[in-house]
Structure 1
Amino acid sequence: MISETVLVPAQGAMLAGDLVMPDQARAVVLFAHGSGSSRHSPRNRMVAGELRTAGLGTLLMDLLTEDEERQDMITAEHRFDIPLLGRRLVAAIVWLGEQAETKHLPVAVFGASTGAAAALMAAAQRPRGVFAVISRGGRPDLADDALEQVCAPVLLLVGGRDPEVLRLNEEAARRLRTPNKLQVVPGATHLFEEPGALEEVARQAREWCEEQLRAGQTTPMRR
């Protein structure tokens, strides 16, 4: 297994990431964390670990630089800048397509909370570079018009005790023009902190990726 800290160039910024690739990985999952979080998010790292047991590589990365993070803690000006976050995910997809260990692999994007909107926006901008999108407790509504442009199949995971986010995901599912599935995790709240909730998220995410891989919707990254 290859595990390394990497720097991803994105429009003049250098974004830190943790790339972990199992032997003979079949795909790589790019994680987009939610507002106020980072690549060290324990929830995303837990899910990433489970995905790696299924032979999927993972890239968890910061979407903001250290200076931007410090500024955002004061002003919150970047965390809801979905176009900016989406462009940075696009840069990461392009970067993965240039690395020796990942350039031959299809990419899925896993977004949590506001990161889900950025994931959908990136998928819309790179229709040949993303084979699946997974949203955990996401805000797909923040992707705006990009929703109708997404081509990759989308899995929307929402906690059963997160009614407002569930409503927003139901509305987003109706707007999506690509195959999609809305899966409610019973008893889970927004952060999926309840016993077994994150394990269910990881299981659903793994099965969604495996289903799309079997379907053959796996185009290597294109610049």
Structure 2
Amino acid sequence: MISRTVTVSAGGVGLTGDLAVPADARAIVLFAHGSGSSRRSPRNREVAAGLRAAGLGTLLIDLLTEEEERRDAVTAELRFDIPLLGHRLTDAVDWLAREPGTSGLPVVLFGASTGAGAALVAAARRPDRVRGVVSRGGRPDLAGDALDTVRAPVLLIVGGRDTHVLRLNQEAARRLPGPHTLRVVPGATHLFEEPGALGQVTEAARQWCDEQVRTADGR
């Protein structure tokens, strides 16, 4: 297991990330947080641990610097700057392609909340590198025009009681030109805090990632 804190050069700044790659990893999942969250998000860390147990590598990265996070905590302006976040996530995809421990691994993007919009932007920009996108309680609509050009398979996971976000995901799904699946977790709200809800997210993401890797390998 490779496990270390890394600094990713993106858009002229250094972004801090937690990289963990099991031996014989079949793919790496790059997490994009949103709505003022960070790589320390307990929900994303729980999902990441479940994916690593299934043989997938993970990179949880802060898309804002510490100074930017402090400013955003007051203004909330940067968390909705999808062009900025999408650009930095694209740079993180390129960084994974250069790293010796990850360069040969397929990349799946996992976006939560506004991070889903950034993940879709990055997928549209790097169609040859991004194998798929998973959105957890995400805002795919924030990807704007990039949503219409995403060719990678997309899994949209939404809580059944998160009605506003569910409607936005249904509308976004109709715009996606590539393969896509909308998975509704019954009884779950936006943060999937209900007992067992986050476990369903993890299992759905694991199965879906397995399918994408097998399909790419021609199995």
TM-score class, shorter: over 0.9
State the secondary structure of the residue aligned to 1:208: helix
Question: Residues 50-69 of structure 1: matches in 2 within 5 Å?
Answer: 50-69=50-69
1:115-194 mapped onto 2 (5 Å cutoff): 115-194=115-194
User: After the TM superposition, which residues 17-166 of structure 1 pair with which residues of structure 2 at under 5 Å, given as runs?
Assistant: 17-166=17-166
CA distance in 2, matches of 1:196, 1:217: 32
Instruction: Read off the aligned partner of 2:193 and give its amino acid letter.
Output: E
Contact map agreement 1:131 1:217 (CA 8 A) in 2: no
Shift of the alpha carbon at 1:217?
A: 6.7
Partner of residue 9, structure 2: 9
Per-residue deviation, residues 138-186 of structure 1 (Å, max 9, x unmatched): 0001101111111110000000000000000000000000000000000
Give the AA of the match of 2:7.
L
Q: Which amino acid is the alignment partner of residue 190 of structure 1? A: H
Shift of 1:120: 0.4
State how far apart, in whole Å, the 2-side matches of 1:11 and 1:143 are.
19
**Cα pair distance change 1:169/1:97, threshold 3 Å:** same
Q: CA deviation at 1:2?
A: 1.1
SS at match of 2:170: helix
Where does structure 1 lack aligned partners over 5 or more consecutive residues?
Answer: 219-223
Residue 86 of structure 1 aligns with an amino acid whose one-letter code is G
**How far 1:214 sits from its partner (Å)?**
1.1
Distance 1:217 1:163 in 2: 37
What is the rounded CA distance, in whole Å, between the counterparts of 1:214 and 1:12 in structure 2?
Answer: 36
| Contact 1:29 1:107 survives alignment (8 Å) | yes
Q: Is the 8 A contact 1:159 1:186 kept in 2?
A: yes
Map of 1:198-213 to 2, 5 A cutoff?
198-213=198-213
Q: Deviations along 1:172-204, whole A, 9 cap, x unmatched?
A: 000000000000000100000000001000000
Counterpart of 1:51, as a letter, is: L
Matching residue's letter, 1:2: I
CA shift for structure 1 position 57: 0.1
Taking only aligned residues, the RMSD between alpha carbons, in angstroms, comes to 0.9
TM-score after normalising by structure 1: 0.96
**Residues 123, 130 of structure 1: 8 Å contact kept:** yes
Q: Give ranges in structure 2 of 5+ residues lacking alignment.
A: none
1:183 is paired with a residue whose SS is strand
1:124/1:146 contact within 8 Å kept: yes
User: 1: CA distance between counterparts of 2:48 and 2:94?
Assistant: 20
Number of the residue aligned with 1:221: none
| In 1: Cα distance, 2:114 partner to 2:9 partner | 22
Cα distance in 2 for partners of 1:116, 1:8 equals 20
Question: Residue 48 of structure 1 contacts residue 58 of structure 1 at CA under 8 Å; is this kept in 2?
Answer: yes
> Residue type matched to 2:52 in 1?
R
Aligned length: 218
